[in-house]
Structure 1
Amino acid sequence: MKRRIKTLFIIIGLFLVGNISYGQFIGYPFYKYYSSQDYHGGIQNWKITQSQNGLLYVANNFGLLEFDGTNWNKYSLESGTKCRDVFVDTDGKIYIAAQGDFGYYVPNELGKLAFVSLADSIPGENRNFDEAWRVFKKNDRLLFCTFDDIFIFNISGELLDIVDPETDPDNFFLVNNQLYLNQSGSGLSIMENGNVKQAEFGDLFKNMTISGILEINNNQLLISTLKSGIYLKTGNTISIWNTSNQDIFQSSNINQMIRLKSGEIAIGTQNEGLFLLNSKGSIKMQLTKGRGIENRTVLSLYEDIQGNLWLGHNNGISSVALNSPFEHLNEQTGLPGTGYDALLLRDTLYLGTNNGLYFKNILNKNTTFQKVKNTTGQVYNIEHLHNSIIMGHHSGTFNINNGEASILSETPGTWTFLDLKNHPEYVLQGNYKGICLFKKSENGIKFHHKLEGFEESSRVMEEDEDGNIWMTHGYKGVFKLNLSEDLKSVQSEYYGEEKGLPSKVLINVWRLNNNLIFSTESGLYEYNKKQDRFIKSSFLSEYFPENVQFVSFTEDALGNIYFVSTTETGVLEKSTNGNYNKHTAVFNQLINALNDDLHNIIPLEANKVLFAAKEGFIFFDNSVQKLQDIDYNVIFTKISISNSKEDSIITYGREMRGDKVSFKQINKGIEIPFKDNSIRIEYSAPYMNGQFQNEYQYWLENNEVGYSEWSVRTAKEYTNLKEGDYTFHVRAKNIHGQLSSVATYEFTILPPWYRTNWAYGLYIFLGLITSVLVFVIFELRYKKKTEIITEEKEKEITRIDSELKTSEQKLEHLKNEKLKSEIKLKNKELATSTMHLINKNSFINSIKSNLNNISKRSNNQEVKHEIGRVIHNIDKNISADEDWEHFSIHFDQVHGDFIKRWQKDYPNLSPQEMKLSAYLRMNLSTKEIANLLNISVRGVEIARYRLRKKLELERSDNLQEFILKY
């Protein structure tokens, strides 16, 4: 990357030029050309206008053209004649003047424009006119101007008056509610109170064909003529408007003249294309064939809502983005190839492309770029160094002087130059194979020698405050370079991921706000001298996501920062408090236009930069209003029922609301039969800036959960919709990211005949009939079954008698089973009693233990003797083992020989663990078990744990559930 801050000398030079006005010719505005094949009409376009909702209308040789921002529609007259003029009233009616006819277009029952002739209401002697040339609305009157008569109608379409000028008119103009007529032989006339009379200055134009009349400052009139130039009428004085350009205006043959919102004058000519003039008549810009537009003949002009200038050509239609802050410098300006670098030195602009170096004097609007001799091939860099213009080229380093290049060094691939702070007499050059040193002299700079010790391609270099030179490589990382004291060699230190950088690829260094900033594929970094490593930079962090990847930066003299990242392009406009205002929306139109080989932004002066583009350069003026907030709507252009046979149109999106045309749905009772449950909805947003980059979101309520992803498609089709009520929502996002209001369309899919209300009524009726028939059938079957059952009952009685004996046997069996159950119950009770006995023994054991303790502590031998007798009686009467044996017997009877089976399957269990298992089988609590085993609750938990280990249970297994299920 070359250095983005030019020398102080250059900046002073730029300001000495007087902050060059870029109203002077630099490049051409962006434009879009539509051929007759695009709009499917005739070649000539006589008038252009626009409706309040943004639709564009053109009076064409083949009829009326309509442009909705996506598609062109053509409405031909039945007679097939040419349409000469078009006017759209505030009520949406579209009035036209045509060959042999005039009238208006309104939507029919389907919403398609249909023509209503007003000329047919004219009396027979006046009906046979040749051309209806103009249509105007004056107050509440409509004026249809033919070359014979002027027909006056009211807004209801009733003929009020016919004005017959004595001399046939050639053209008509409505200025400040005053109708002017250009009449051959008599000059300029006016119509007042139904009479035509010559204007007080009209005879001065008797031999001229007037093509335009505008009212300008101080009640002055500007009058353009076809071949006689432009005149200014002030009071009763007529003068040439601009004498220096009068010859140009005369030879150009002016077809139309309009005043733009900016106050400038636009002139469409027959021979020289379009002229843009300031208020004094000076030419600011000329667009003609091969230089900004595709056709040199401009028959009509119109400035649309967004500030685009539409040109109706003799063959085609153009839209010129006059309100855009961008201009294109490409092959039409004499600049072929892809843009790489540029230099503005005083009034000369140098542009380097892959085809060579070009230059022009920007103050001379009539010149195109010229090629500097001996520069054919790839230009990488153009600098002003030590009073010389130096070019970095694929073939080496060149000095530029008087439009010719002379070789300074044949070292191939000169990327960039860098003035050295510590060695001001030298200039460092980066090239394909390393770096070289150039020395300054009275005659400019001269090649000195190649520096040893560094062989990397050095395209991007910056010097820090300590004199270190930082070179970034596209896919190898960062190098810190230091020159030897004798300036013959270079010592380099490599910085990569081990020094804090996220990777070694896609790294560049930039000088922003007088600091070195390193852009990486994961955000901005800066060098920390104390740590000798790179750290995340907080610079600009509040304006961008953390890991955004930048590909180009530059800073102008006002501190505005222009940037290109992988996700957006824009400018950070510096405010007086040091903060930045971020603007990106207007730059969306540069998508896919910029040079994606070596991105570059070149500052020319304050608020003015060049973007290197795939075709030349794109000039950006930051002082021009960047974006207008304009309300716009999505309109439905066609809604149809689609099937395999043909499309059935529901509407073309327009309806009459009383006497006015509406693009909003008025009739919301649209019902579609179920057999036609496939619908196609077409829509468009008539936003004319970058109209083919408008994006849309849609949502069919009752069928989809929310809006779709953004897409450029302008139609959506739904098939096999279920019956129900639906509302289709659609909204647009223009190239600047601005959202339109939401357009909706409601419709109902009717159910199939078999799910309609009358069908359900039929189902109920048939159900009732069926029920009656079923009842009768079942009644007959019941009677027949009754007879059969009577016979079978007798047989059944006999069978029951025979089975009675068998039942008595079964009863005896049941009694036996009952006795067994009673025995089992008693066994349970016995087991319970045994439990109580064990508990009692446990209690007695505890008493025995207490008595032993008392005996040990007592010194009275008599007491010890008595206690001993009591303990002996206790031992004599207690037999815990025998109790357990009895308990085991009864427990097994109740629990299916559990203890026997358990002891057999787990023979390594201790008696204590066998008892614990039995108690767990009885689902006793831990406290109850502790009393039975004569141990503590903690002891029970320990015993449970040991039992789990012997049973080899997993941690997830429940011990008690395991025993209960055993």
Structure 2
Amino acid sequence: MNLKKSYFYITFFTLFSITFFGQVKNTGLPDVRNYKRNEYKGGTQNWNIGQDSNGNLYFANNNGLLQFDGSSWRKYPLPNLTSVRCLKIEQSGKVYVGGYNEFGYFEPNEKGILSYTSLSKYVDKNKIKIIDFIWKIHSIDNQIVFQSFARAYIFKNGKLTILKAPKRFQFSFTVNNKLYFQDIEKGILEYHNGKLYALPNTTSLNNTEIWGMYALAPNKTLIITLEKGLFIYENNTIKPWNTDANTFVKKNNSLGGVIINNKFIVLNSVLDGIIICDFNGKIIQHINRKKGLQNNTVLTSFIDNKNNLWLGLDNGIAYVNENSPFTYFGFSYNLSTVYASVVYQGNLYVATNQGVFYHAWNNSFKEDVFKLVEGTTAQSWNVQIIGNELVCSNNRGALVINGGHVTRIIDSKGYFGFKKIPNHPDYFIGSNYDGFAIFQKTANGLVFKNQVAGFDKSSNSFELDNSYFWLKKDESIYKMALSDDLSHFSSIKKIDQLTSKFRSIGSLQKIRGRIYFQTHNHFYKYSEEQDLFYEDKNLTSLFKSIPIINALNEDSQSNLWYAYDESLGVLMKRNNKYINIVAPFSSLTGNLVSNYLSVNTIDSKNIFIGLTDGLAHYDSAVQNNFVTKPKAFIRSFSFPGDTIILGNNQKKTEKISIRYAANHVRFTFSSPTYENLENVEFSYQLKPFDDKWSNWSNISIKEYTNLREGDYTMNVKVRNSYGIQSDPSTLSFTVSPPWYRHFLAFICYFVLIIIAIYVVSNRIKMKIRKNKYYETIEQRRLYLEKESKIRQEQYDLEKEIEKLKNDKLQIKILAKDKELVNNSLQVVKKNKILNGIIHKLKEIDVEALDDSTKFQVSKLNKSIVKEVNTDKSWKDLEKHIKNVHFEFLKRLKEKYPTISPRELDLSTYLLMNMSTKEIAEIMNISTGGVELARYRLRKKLGLNKKENLIGFLMSI
């Protein structure tokens, strides 16, 4: 069953179940919403209420005229800033208003903003200096009548005529399209063709104020007075209307009222809110401050186009949802969170988180509150009729209730509820905080037998069939078998999923006597023979188009109530078929008790639903026009420097064009849907800016910034609290391009481009000629540069060749130096050897030798000494080294003046890459001495340990 079919069935059922609208219920209270002055930004008192053809509401307020479109409030003060005491809305859309010394009308101007036109300017101020308060406005016979105490001002065809009061007018009323005035001397007067005619026998009311006159029948009129009560004028006679309503008015005074659908009367009071009575004067409802109103003084009442009630209070405004199948028992009836309810022995019992409360079922609920059953002050989970007893499942135990008292405690453990055990007459099983217990129904009532052993988990969701005990705990179920003596569970099996397709288990319920297991809206039954779960296709098909449910109950009328996403729905059984009804229950969304779906169906007119803040009464036989399609309005279109108000009955707005500099636009949306305003949602799409409709949201404002130039169409639609969508409302507008993208700008651009092309082409020709001249000069310059470069390269090449020759020569010199050093070293070695020989010769004892030998030895020694002394190769070597490395030694001496000659020699040897051994031989010192000399040289040169000495010397 899809959603459209559901709405069709809802409409069909509500249209043909009964034959009248607006049934006022006498059970519970309707939903009341208060609007405080800080919400509507006006004065405290609201004297009159009206509604235009678009559904906008208007209030005659102390600070001016208030307008409410369901989303926002607007205030329109009178020119003299006085209080508005009355208003009247014509079909043309004009809103006529009256205040102190001022009357006229508001109508939308070309931008949709209500603009005021004064009619009091037609009054001759020389003759009438003070107009006084205008208290009533009437539209009759194509004329508008403004009534003050002294006179009436009649506006017709652009002219104003004055009707003077015989003595002094009180108020005036329209009854059956006839206009009546109350005069304090002449009584009630009928206005006809510009004259006043006294009604017979009405002067008896001259000493009181009449605040209302309503037709109860063609020749029967109800007259409402301020202090004297209610009267009936019939057959030219006046008599008191001796009813309950009259008693209330005499006690609390009345400021008029209003008729609901020609069946009920709303009576405003000064001291105690309002009452709603039928045409027999029987009070159906009484709503005052204790029952939800923010103020007990009701100045005016009004029935809107949805048959709901609006109240203008002495301080604030109130909305009463009378056109609803729901009424409520909340804090004003002493109820809190409700878990269960039942009717027993003429009382309605309600299990709450504070205990069990009761109220007489056959008495009116208008004034009385629910009373607490003594001894139940604790969390109460359930209240059930077992046998002839009323048993409460309470935190204190299983309690038996009779009247307003607990008469017996069956068991002191805390309990959730009880179920009858199949195949065991007079036996019940109860779910308690420690598991489950067995109870037996006896002649003395229900008695405790034993705690069932073997399982200590508990839940309020359990069922029994002929074979098994089934328990749902979390997202699993337990299949358990009770022993024959009911003392223990003989078998326990935990089941986490019914099929491989779905893992968790949503709910456990008994429908038509069979136990069903639900998961993701698929319903399964258990086959004991095959030990498996199989799907019930018929039941599953009923929930095909329904959101995933989390609880399901079958009531006494075989209706299936289900909970989903904190919302409620029902499959109403009609002629063996189920009709899915969802829309009426949207007002309960978010108020249902989690995991405790409580629906108590007494009959089709009395269904009680447990809520977190009380008890809801649902009458499925009450017609409600909730299925009507809502209307969406684009209420305002704003851009920098201007605002256009729409939906004020003005003429259709022409296509709007705005400057590119004002391309920051703002829209506000509204819908004259005043029921469950918090659940009214909007969706919008700005074409072609948005590709798709926006997500539904209760935000009624949308802004767009930096829109490009082009044509745009804003579409908006509304979805009311029952999920019904409106037709789109549209507004077209154009964003003009910036001056630099305007059509004329592009023409200018084209002309400028032509001129630019002409100028540029001429300049290019001149440039080409210049370029040819400069190109010749440049080529000459490049030729000279190239020639110069070649010469420079030739010179550099010659220098490089010369350097290479010098380097080659230097390499040869170094090689020769090395060779010379080697030769010198060989000489040094030779001299060293010769010196050694000389020393050896000196060691010979020549005295022992003969003369010949002695002579030869002496001769040999002299020749060797001569050879050693005459060898000048080393000095030549030193001289040669100093000549070759003269520049190096000069630079080293200039850079380090303190360096010694011997250190200069060492530096030269190191530069020549001589080894330590070679240096030691040349310098005639030990290798250790060389190392010490190297260390001293490094220190004098200022080198650290990581710097290479030879590399440093080569860099000088």
Output the TM-score relative to the length of structure 1: 0.74
Contact 1:634 1:740 in 2 (8 A): yes
Q: Does 1:746 align with 2:748?
A: no
- Equivalent in the alignment of 1:300: 300
Give the C-alpha shift of residue 63 in structure 1.
0.8
Q: Distance in 2 between matches of 1:498 and 1:252?
A: 64
CA contact (8 A) 1:342 1:602 kept: yes
User: Alpha-carbon deviation of 1:238?
Assistant: 3.0
1:356 is matched with which residue?
355
Per the alignment, residue 151 of structure 1 pairs with 153
Tell me the residue number matched to 1:648.
Answer: 641
CA distance in 1 between partners of 2:337 and 2:724 (Å): 31
Task: Specify the alignment match of 1:136 in structure 2.
Answer: 138
Report the more deviating stretch, 370-379 or 198-207: 198-207
Give the superposition deviation at 1:82.
0.8
2:631 to 619, 630, 633: 633
Change (3 A) 1:620 1:24: closer
| Distance in 1 (alpha carbons) for counterparts of 2:682 and 2:74 | 21
State the shift of 1:196 in Å. 2.0
C-alpha contact 1:147 1:170 (8 A) present in aligned 2: yes
User: Is the counterpart of residue 720 in structure 1 residue 713 in structure 2?
Assistant: no
1:544 aligns with 2:523: no
Q: Is the 8 A contact 2:467 2:481 kept in 1?
A: no
CA deviation string 1:436-484 (max 9, x = no partner)? 12222333222222222332214223232x2543332234423233242
Partner of 2:679: 693
Deviation track 1:802-856 (CA, whole Å, cap 9, x = no partner) reads xxxxxxxxxxxxxxxxxxxxxxxxxxxxxxxxxxxxxxxxxxxxxxxxxxxxxxx
Question: 1:727-742 residue pairs with structure 2 within 5 A?
Answer: 727-742=713-728
Q: Structure 1 residues 530, 237: closer, same or farther in 2, change over 3 A?
A: farther
In the alignment, which residue of structure 2 is the partner of 1:436?
A: 437
Contact 2:667–2:701 under 8 Å retained in 1: yes
Among residues 760, 763, 766, which one is paired with 1:777 in the alignment?
A: 763
Match of residue 53 from structure 1: 54
- Partner residue of 2:337? 338
Match of 2:15 in 1: none
Q: 1:703 Cα deviation (Å)?
A: 1.1
CA contact (8 A) 2:583 2:723 kept: yes
- Counterpart in the other structure of 1:579: 577
Aligned to 1:470: 470
704 and 549 in structure 1: CA distance in 2 versus 1, 3 angstrom threshold: closer
Cα distance in 2, alignment partners of residues 520 and 406 from structure 1: 42
Query: Aligned-pair distance for 1:172?
Result: 0.7
1:721-772 deviation per Cα after TM superposition (whole angstroms, max 9, x unaligned):
1111111111111111122221111111111211112222222222222223
Would you say the 8 A contact 2:45–2:62 is kept in 1?
Answer: yes
Whole-Å Cα distance in 1 between the matches of residues 158 and 265 of structure 2? 35
Structure 2 counterpart SS, 1:610: strand
Matched residue, 2:66: 65
- In structure 2, how many angstroms separate the alpha carbons of the residues matched to 1:191 and 1:232? 20
Task: Show the 5 A alignment for 1:321-720.
Answer: 321-335=321-335, 337-362=336-361, 363-365=363-365, 366-464=367-465, 466=466, 468-484=468-484, 486-497=485-496, 500=499, 507-520=506-519, 523-545=522-544, 549-566=548-565, 568-576=567-575, 578-641=576-639, 647-653=640-646, 661-662=650-651, 664=652, 666-668=653-655, 670-720=656-706
SS at match of 1:452: coil
Contact 1:31 1:292 in 2 (8 A): yes
Cα distance change of structure 1 residues 303 and 132 upon mapping to structure 2, 3 Å threshold: same
What is the Cα deviation at residue 788 of structure 1?
9.5
CA distance in 2, matches of 1:549, 1:756: 56
Quote the offset at 1:787 in angstroms: 8.4
One-letter code aligned to 1:443: N
> Matched residues in 1 for 2:524 and 2:329: separation?
34
Distance 1:293 1:347, change over 3 A: farther
Please name the residue that 1:906 is paired with: none
- Residues 190, 198 of structure 2: 8 Å contact kept: yes
Residue 800 of structure 1 corresponds to none
**Cα distance in 2 between the residues matched to 1:262 and 1:510:** 45
Aligned equivalents of 1:427 and 1:567: distance in 2?
32
Structure 2 residue 45 is matched with structure 1 residue 38 = no
> Is this contact kept in 2: 1:435–1:458, CA < 8 A?
no
Inter-partner Cα distance in structure 2 for 1:194 and 1:562: 62
Q: Distance in 2 between matches of 1:649 and 1:305?
A: 32
Equivalent pair of 1:173/1:212 in contact (CA under 8 Å): yes
Deviation at 1:384, TM superposition (A): 1.2
Q: In the alignment, which residue of structure 2 is the partner of 1:194?
A: 194
Range with bigger deviation, 631-640 or 130-139: 631-640
In structure 2, the residue corresponding to 1:765 is in which secondary structure?
helix
* 2:219 paired with 1:232: no
Which one-letter code corresponds to 1:572 in the other structure? L
Aligned-partner residue type, residue 385 of structure 2? H
SS at match of 1:628: helix
Structure 2 partner of 1:830: none
How far the C-alpha of 1:582 sits from its partner, in A, is 0.8
Deviation for aligned residue 1:233: 2.4
One-letter code aligned to 1:319 = Y
| SS of residue matched to 1:162 | strand
Q: Confirm or deny: 8 A CA contact 1:478 1:507 kept in the other structure.
A: no
The Cα shift of 1:296 comes to: 1.4
Q: Is the 8 A contact 2:357 2:371 kept in 1?
A: yes
Note if contact 1:696-1:732 (Cα within 8 Å) is conserved in structure 2.
yes
Structure 2 residue matching 1:352: 3-state secondary structure: strand
Q: Distance in 1 between matches of 2:263 and 2:90?
A: 24
8 Å Cα contact 1:523/1:547 also seen in 2: no
The Cα of 1:35 is off from its aligned counterpart by 0.8
Count of matched residue pairs: 755
Aligned ranges 1:271-282 → 2 under 5 Å: 271-282=271-282
Q: After superposition, what is the alpha-carbon deviation per residue over 1:904-960, rounded to whole angstroms, capped at 9, x for unaligned?
A: xxxxxxxxxxxxxxxxxxxxxxxxxxxxxxxxxxxxxxxxxxxxxxxxxxxxxxxxx
Question: Relative to 1, partners in 2 of residues 1:498 and 1:107: Cα closer, same or farther, differing over 3 Å?
Answer: closer
What is the Cα deviation at residue 130 of structure 1? 0.9
Distance 1:83 1:144, change over 3 A: same
Deviations along 1:657-699, one digit per CA (max 9) or x if unpaired, are xxx624x4x221x222222221111121111111232111111
CA distance in 2, matches of 1:756, 1:506: 66
Kept after mapping to 2: 8 A contact 1:187/1:208: no
Closer, same or farther: CA 702–314 of 1 in aligned 2, 3 Å: same
AA partner of residue 128 (structure 1): I
Q: 1:264 to 1:764 in 2, by over 3 A?
A: same
Question: Residues of 2 paired with 1:193 and 1:500: CA distance?
Answer: 83
Per the alignment, in what secondary structure is the counterpart of residue 626 of structure 2? coil
Report if aligned partners of 2:476, 2:497 keep a CA contact under 8 Å in 1: no
Matches within 5 A, 1:168-317: 168-261=168-261, 263-317=263-317
1:935 counterpart residue number: none
Aligned-residue RMSD, C-alpha: 2.6
Question: Would the aligned equivalents of 2:496 and 2:505 in 1 still touch at CA under 8 Å?
Answer: no
Question: Pick from 757, 761, 768: which aligns with 2:743?
Answer: 757
What does 1:853-872 correspond to in 2, within 5 Å?
Answer: none
- The alpha-carbon deviation at position 330 of structure 1 amounts to 1.1
Partner of 1:290: helix, strand, or coil? helix
Mapped partners of 2:224, 2:559: distance in 1? 43
Alignment of 1:99-114 (within 5 A): 99-114=100-115
Q: CA deviation at 1:179?
A: 1.1
The 1:164–1:532 alpha-carbon spacing in structure 2 relative to 1, beyond 3 Å, is same
Distance 1:168 1:262, change over 3 A: closer
Deviation at 1:187, TM superposition (A): 2.5
Go from structure 1 to structure 2 and tell me whether the alpha carbon gap of 1:52 and 1:632 turns closer, same or farther (over 3 Å shift): farther
Letter in 1 for 2:243: T
